[in-house]
Structure 1
Amino acid sequence: MQSQKDTICAISTAQGMGAIAVIRLSGQESIAISEKLFVPAKEGKQLANEKANTIHFGSISDGDKDIDEVLISIFKAPHSFTGEEVVEIACHGAPYIQQQILQLLTKHGARLAAAGEFTQRAFLNGKMDLSQAEAVADLIASRSEAARRVALQQMRGGFSNELINLRTQLLNFISLIELELDFSEEDVEFANRDELTKLVDEIQALLKKLTNSFSLGNAIKNGIPVAIVGHTNAGKSTLLNTLLQEDKAIVSDIHGTTRDVIEDTINIEGISFRFIDTAGIRATKDEIETLGIERTYDKISKATIVLLMLDVNDPDKKIHEAISDIKKRLNDYQQLIVVINKTDLADASIIKQRFAIDSFHELSSTDTIVPISAKQQLNIDVLTNALLKTVNLSAIDNDEVIVTNVRHYEALQKSYEAILRVSEGLSNGISGDFLAQDIREVLHFLGEITGHINTDEVLGNIFKNFCIGK
């Protein structure tokens, strides 16, 4: 980490041409440096004497040379994003103007900010904890309404508050247990073991819930992976093109046209789905097609949702074999939707009777059958509704805490393993010093998430992935 005493500057808006650009400064010399360049429209005005949270019109000049007309916003410590003096210069968005202003700022004592350094300072100055800082990056990178809502909820401290409450309760108990150790010769008990057992059970359940939420959170953040699989010529590529509303994949009556994986993402009612069109499954001697089929099975193992495409005119035996083959490859966390395609070529009443869910012993109550015609775009809305039902939308709508960060997930897993040892120790009546050791481990891993416990290496890895200016 570079010195926190420096005054830093960077362009905070997107790089390139635009109507307006914002250049941000943070540090104890922000206002003083800005004043060296700023010529106020109102003669005699001095930025240092102006109130916080005010905006001032004027121009930026390099000696006798006017650079641009600007608006300057002033924020004074500690009431700013970083907790320091902050100045934001809104200028016209020409890249040349932006660079000229940056050069003048560095000439007068500021330095260019590193990636994520503004948010890092906000963390170091206690304006937010580490999980909130990471949520800032997630909010900037959000590509769907669900991702935005989850990131905003975390940035406002929803996740942090859960963890702070857990740590506070555990700290109270560990203090009592360690007090017992100081009076071990008197054989006194300050920490009520029944109350501790109750607390440990509650924490264990909450940690399990938070850990389990990661599968949903990761999908929301990166797009829910949906593998479209099935036999050749079942209509997989046609379905992909229909969903994307473009000719992404080649469609042909020739078997084995799709030999590699084709991916694209679409947004359905605020949820991103990452569709993966795969090579058709069949017995083949073609080496290239065989490699494609191997990749199909690999994508099945990594998908959250599997769309098994079947031709409505396929014989029963072929359909049952396809369902059995796919079901064997799925785990308990994957959702199967059986898509019966080409329904425009068959009688509706026969389809309804033949493809009722209870006609397939291979399927469970969580599986779904959706008859469609990808070519004629029939029942596509029914399919998209089935996709949405696989997502726990109620958790998003109710603003429940959803874990989206891999680092948080790993720390929660370690916390959960440690709290299990505490629970086991209480059941076996182990001594307070061993209990205290396991509780300290829980506190350590929870503290890693919020930044109560951190290292420069962890901070460096987190903030290097931020954009410059944030």
Structure 2
Amino acid sequence: MAAFLPPTLSDTIIALSTPPGAGAIAVLRLSGPSAIGITDLVFHGHQLADQRGHTMHYGTIRDEGRIIDEVVVSLFRGPRSYTREDVVEISCHGSNYIVQQLLMLLVRCGARLAEPGEFTKRAFLRGALDLAQAEAVADLIAADSALSHQVAMQQMRGGFSRELRDLRARLVQFASLLELELDFGEEDVEFADRTGLVALSQEVQALVRKLLRSFELGNVIKNGVTTVIAGRPNAGKSTLLNALLHEERAIVSAIAGTTRDLIEDEVSIDGIRFRFVDTAGLRDTTDVVESIGVERTRQRVQQAAVVLYLFDITSTSPAQLEAEIEDLRLPAGVSVVAVGNKLDVASDDEISTFSARPDTVLIAASRGDGLDELQTALLEHVRGAGLDRTGSSTIVTNLRHARSLEATIAALDAVLVGLATGAGTELVAADLRQALGALGEITGEISSDDLLTSIFTQFCIGK
């Protein structure tokens, strides 16, 4: 892949690599064969062409004698750079006007505005990163919790890729023996041990299935734990949402049916991102708008990872609570935490009725009582599902990777069926090539221009 360099790699590209908007500093990044030469045309300080890589230089950027800004230039010579090309990063003052002036000046001097993800795409094309690592760069930028950061970092450093390469290398050895048999097809020789190929295919399938099972977990880490707050009207759902978020996000009223649409927001608890969803109260109603809200609540509950079923301790019996939770008709795998509210006004008998119930937390949402216990219960539920598995464990977070793993399993199924039924070598070899291709698509050992365009256009400009 690194040996094939499309014509666009002869360009020198430039982009703003820090978020747009006024700030203390902004960083403009150039990459390409003329990055140093173009910068030397406008930079007044040291002659960059004469400087070593990994050095920084103070000076001014001038346009025909007019000083635009005082800057610090960082110089990275390829291949010891992010893109393995010559890279220059210009740190200037974070004024929108200054940034635009510098961009226009450097484009006039020969640079081209970079496309989204083009710096990382160049790193991939020049062999600095494989495709899975390149995608992890985008995940790392988007990471907003300790777990999503840790998983993205592990993938960017090549942990997932090494695991896939090991699997693929073992299959390649058998594939090459099958191809060799095809070359000697008329002599009826057998180089590949069929029993060994069956054992290896089953072993690889088991490992791939393990990776695939981690995708549900990885999707939660990447997108947050969807936690729906459900219950009857006036149970205190909006009050609980505000208490969990530490802000007045939802309208609180004593009038039943105030919340008629979904209200969502996120908060990180002990490094895990939770997406809390406040919902309309569950009840039969003739109000058309409220009934739409109730239906949306029921739909959202079906999509939840965790449901906090909120009930009023002072007006709910254990039998009613069980019936209401049963009425949710939750799919398998959805955790439910029953949350008894209004602890502050409940009698001792009402409190004791529910205090010993499993998976039940008692709170006073209006005062914040019991919130620590509720957060602990939430963490126990998601960690019980394996959400704190990090470190050396490989977790799949990318839908494209999951689909390729599914294709690998299907292709190996075909290999095993072919071996069991005595299919011809050419058919078994073709199915094995399919498995190798599916694994290779994840790391980019096998890729198409359409695939690369689809992936890198999702990156931010400047990365």
What is the TM-score of this pair, normalised by structure 1? 0.92
2:403 corresponds to 1:410: yes
2:161 corresponds to 1:160: yes
* Alignment correspondent of 1:99: 100
Q: State the shift of 1:373 in Å.
A: 2.2
* CA displacement, residues 312-340 of structure 1 (integer Å, 9 cap, x when unaligned): 231233212112112xx222232221212
Aligned AA for 2:375?
T
Q: State the superposition RMSD in angstroms.
A: 1.9
Secondary structure of residue in 2 paired with 1:3? helix
Q: State the shift of 1:252 in Å.
A: 2.3
* CA displacement, residues 379-434 of structure 1 (integer Å, 9 cap, x when unaligned): 21111112112334665443421111121122222222222222333344433322
Do the aligned residues in 1 keep the contact of 2:364 with 2:370 (CA within 8 Å)?
Answer: yes
Do the aligned residues in 1 keep the contact of 2:147 with 2:388 (CA within 8 Å)?
Answer: no
Give the Cα–Cα distance (whole angstroms) in 2 for the partners of residues 32 and 356 of structure 1. 74
Matches within 5 A, 1:363-378: 368-378=359-369
* Alignment correspondent of 2:30: 25
Aligned AA for 1:379?
G
Secondary structure of residue in 2 paired with 1:274? strand
Q: What is the identity percentage for the equivalent residue pairs of Structure 1 and Structure 2? A: 50
2:341 corresponds to 1:333: no
Give the Cα–Cα distance (whole angstroms) in 2 for the partners of residues 324 and 25 of structure 1. 60
* CA displacement, residues 83-127 of structure 1 (integer Å, 9 cap, x when unaligned): 111111111222222222212211111111111111111111111
* Alignment correspondent of 2:299: 298
Aligned AA for 1:377?
G
* CA displacement, residues 168-201 of structure 1 (integer Å, 9 cap, x when unaligned): 1111111112222223344333222232222222
* CA displacement, residues 35-82 of structure 1 (integer Å, 9 cap, x when unaligned): 111111xxxx43212111111222211222222222211111211111
Give the Cα–Cα distance (whole angstroms) in 2 for the partners of residues 426 and 357 of structure 1. 55
Seen in structure 2, the aligned counterparts of structure 1 residues 334 and 316 have a Cα distance that, compared at 3 Å, is closer
2:30 corresponds to 1:37: no
The answer to which of 57-66 and 21-30 deviates more is: 57-66
Q: State the shift of 1:442 in Å.
A: 1.3
* CA displacement, residues 216-271 of structure 1 (integer Å, 9 cap, x when unaligned): 21122122111111111222111111101122222223222211111111111111
2:55 corresponds to 1:54: yes
* Alignment correspondent of 1:363: none
Count of residue pairs brought into register by the alignment: 455
Give the Cα–Cα distance (whole angstroms) in 1 for the partners of residues 349 and 428 of structure 2. 66
Do the aligned residues in 1 keep the contact of 2:354 with 2:360 (CA within 8 Å)?
Answer: no
* Alignment correspondent of 1:361: none
Aligned AA for 1:96?
Y
Secondary structure of residue in 2 paired with 1:344? coil
1:321 pairs with one of 298, 320, 323: 323
Do the aligned residues in 2 keep the contact of 1:149 with 1:396 (CA within 8 Å)?
Answer: no
* Alignment correspondent of 2:346: 346
Give the Cα–Cα distance (whole angstroms) in 2 for the partners of residues 202 and 355 of structure 1. 48
Ranges in structure 1 where 5+ consecutive residues have no aligned partner: 359-367
Aligned AA for 1:385?
T
2:373 pairs with one of 353, 358, 382: 382
Q: State the shift of 1:349 in Å.
A: 6.7
Matches within 5 A, 1:246-257: 246-257=247-258
Give the Cα–Cα distance (whole angstroms) in 1 for the partners of residues 407 and 417 of structure 2. 16
* CA displacement, residues 418-460 of structure 1 (integer Å, 9 cap, x when unaligned): 2222233334443332222221111111111111121221111
* Alignment correspondent of 2:119: 118
Give the Cα–Cα distance (whole angstroms) in 1 for the partners of residues 116 and 94 of structure 2. 21
Q: State the shift of 1:12 in Å.
A: 0.8
Do the aligned residues in 2 keep the contact of 1:216 with 1:391 (CA within 8 Å)?
Answer: no
Q: State the shift of 1:307 in Å.
A: 1.1
2:453 corresponds to 1:460: yes
Give the Cα–Cα distance (whole angstroms) in 2 for the partners of residues 189 and 391 of structure 1. 51
Secondary structure of residue in 1 paired with 2:417? helix
Seen in structure 2, the aligned counterparts of structure 1 residues 197 and 348 have a Cα distance that, compared at 3 Å, is farther
